[in-house]
Amino acid sequence: MQPPRDKEPGQTSIEQSERFKPPATRRDFLGLAATWSTVVAFVMAMLGSLRLPMPSVFPESDSKVKLGRPEQFSVGSSTYFSAQHIWLFREEKGFHAISSICTHLGCITERTANGTFKCPCHGSSFDADGKVTGGPAPKGLVWVQLDVSPEGGLVADILKEVPADTVFDA
Q: What pLDDT, in 10s, does the model give residues 97-122? A: 998 888 888 888 888 888 888 988 88
Asked if 104 and 119 count as a contact pair (C-beta separation under 8 A), the reply is: yes
Asked if 158 and 73 count as a contact pair (C-beta separation under 8 A), the reply is: no
The Cα 167–Cα 170 span in angstroms is: 10
CB count in 10 Å sphere of residue 55: 8
pLDDT tens digits for 13-38?
666 777 777 777 888 889 999 999 99
The Cα 110–Cα 101 span in angstroms is: 9
* 5 Cβ contact partners less than 8 Å away, ≥ 6 residues apart: none
The superfamily in CATH containing domain 64-162 is: Rieske [2Fe-2S] iron-sulphur domain (2.102.10.10)
3-state secondary structure of 10: coil
Question: Which pTM value belongs to this model?
Answer: 0.61
